[in-house]
A = this chain, B = another copy of it.
Amino acid sequence: MGGDYAPAETVRGALVAQREAGVTPLLVGDEAALRAQLDAEGVEAAPWQIVHVPEAVAMDEHAVEAVRSRRPTSIRKSAEMLGADEVDAVVTMGHTGAAVAAGVLIVGRLPDVERPGLGVLLPAHDPRPLLIDVGANAEARARHLVQFAVMGRVYQERLQGLESPRVGLLSIGEEESKGNSLVHEAAAMLASGGVNYVGHVDPAHIFHNEADVIVCDGFTGNVVIKTAEATAEYAFGELRAEVVKRPLAKLAALGLRPAFRALRRRIDYAEIGATPLLGLKGLLLIGHGRSKAPAVTNALLAADRAVRAKLVPTIASGLESATA
């Protein structure tokens, strides 16, 4: 039920994931609304399992309070089923804060994790680098960044097949002397082992293939992904404005459409679908609130791949050996 286009687009995306990839989605939310949407899509509702939870967390609610209140919401019920092993994974396009709170409070953290981290694959070179944390926590200590590094390493090993992924630390400037006190402390800890640490990554170089995992605190990571998205939207919006002023350019732009479409596919978050909250005892994936059906489909496929890759148990043993 979460996200800007639920339930229409979430249901549509789930249908495609089931038909084309054999994923078995289970819908959690208002049963009448979900059945109506399945009917509208011309689908026999019978083979679809729906768990009726009429309420959802609203986007303007306080996340932790919404979860702590024990009010039955779709994210709470989903997290409970994940915690009880009734489902292999949960995918949500809803309130990120509520999903993180439900993950921590209901699914629970792995033994060696103090803070779960939300990572996103940046739309850069292949293999795409994982930026973690992008906002599960507004604040972090150096040892949390080290935990993000270990979890990110396992993610890149299991899901992108990388051997000894390079771990970088986001900082302003490549030199070791640059950065704030959190960066300096984390750099010392990262250099002392457990991961293949390659030093600072300057934000100017995040698309330059300097690292496979880039760690940072969640405030900074959230600033990075939102600034990148805002800049791309602004730049292409301004370009469009310049084009429509010029009749010849308008005509020429038609010839560029395939190139623009290819670029959009490359940098669109819908291609990734959703990203797991790393460090929980179960697999919880969080997608963009603006996800439409293709993003929902890709999110379910990402969940399926992560289940098959045994992401969570591998992270658990990775953390165990890193902290041993």
Which of chain B's residues has its CB closest to A204's CB? B226
A172 in contact with B238 (CB, 8 Å):
no
Which of chain B's residues has its CB closest to A260's CB? B239
Main secondary structure of the interface of A (DSSP, over half): helix
Whole-angstrom CA separation of A60 from B172 in the bound complex: 14
Interface band, chain A: 35 or more
Whole-angstrom CA separation of A148 from B138 in the bound complex: 22
Q: A263 with B242: in contact, given A179-B219, A227-B224, A252-B256 (CB under 8 Å)?
A: yes
A138 in contact with B254 (CB, 8 Å):
no
Task: Specify which chain B residues have a CB less than 8 angstroms from the CB of A255 in the assembled complex.
Answer: 248-249, 251-253, 255
Known: A202-B226, A224-B227, A228-B231. 8 other contacts (CB 8 A): A204-B229, A207-B230, A228-B230, A231-B231, A239-B259, A242-B259, A251-B255, A252-B252
Q: In the complex, how many angstroms separate the beta carbon of A173 from the nearest chain B beta carbon?
A: 8
A178 in contact with B60 (CB, 8 Å):
no
Query: How many chain copies does the complex carry?
Result: 2
Whole-angstrom CA separation of A235 from B122 in the bound complex: 12
Point out residues on A near B: beta carbons under 8 Å: 60, 62, 124, 135, 138-139, 170, 172, 175, 177-181, 202-207, 218-220, 222-224, 226-236, 238-239, 242-243, 245-246, 248-249, 251-256, 258-260, 262-263, 266-267
Ranked nearest first, the 4 interchain pairs of A and B with the lowest CB-CB distance are A252-B255, A203-B226, A242-B259, A172-B222
Task: Specify which chain B residues have a CB less than 8 angstroms from the CB of A231 in the assembled complex.
Answer: 207, 227-228, 231-232, 235
Identify the interface centre among A138, A238, A260, A262: most chain B CB within 10 Å of its CB.
A138
Q: A138 with B239: in contact, given A223-B224, A230-B206, A259-B246 (CB under 8 Å)?
A: no
B238 in contact with A266 (CB, 8 Å):
yes
Whole-angstrom CA separation of A229 from B231 in the bound complex: 8
Whole-angstrom CA separation of A263 from B231 in the bound complex: 13
Which of chain B's residues has its CB closest to A134's CB? B172
Task: Specify which chain B residues have a CB less than 8 angstroms from the CB of A256 in the assembled complex.
Answer: 243, 249, 252-253, 256
Q: In the complex, how many angstroms separate the beta carbon of A134 from the nearest chain B beta carbon?
A: 9
Which of chain B's residues has its CB closest to A139's CB? B180
Q: A179 with B138: in contact, given A203-B230, A204-B229, A242-B263 (CB under 8 Å)?
A: yes
Task: Specify which chain B residues have a CB less than 8 angstroms from the CB of A203 in the assembled complex.
Answer: 222-223, 226-227, 230
Q: In the complex, how many angstroms separate the beta carbon of A4 from the nearest chain B beta carbon?
A: 14
Q: In the complex, how many angstroms separate the beta carbon of A172 from the nearest chain B beta carbon?
A: 4
Whole-angstrom CA separation of A179 from B233 in the bound complex: 23
Which of chain B's residues has its CB closest to A60's CB? B175
A263 in contact with B235 (CB, 8 Å):
yes
Which of chain B's residues has its CB closest to A239's CB? B263
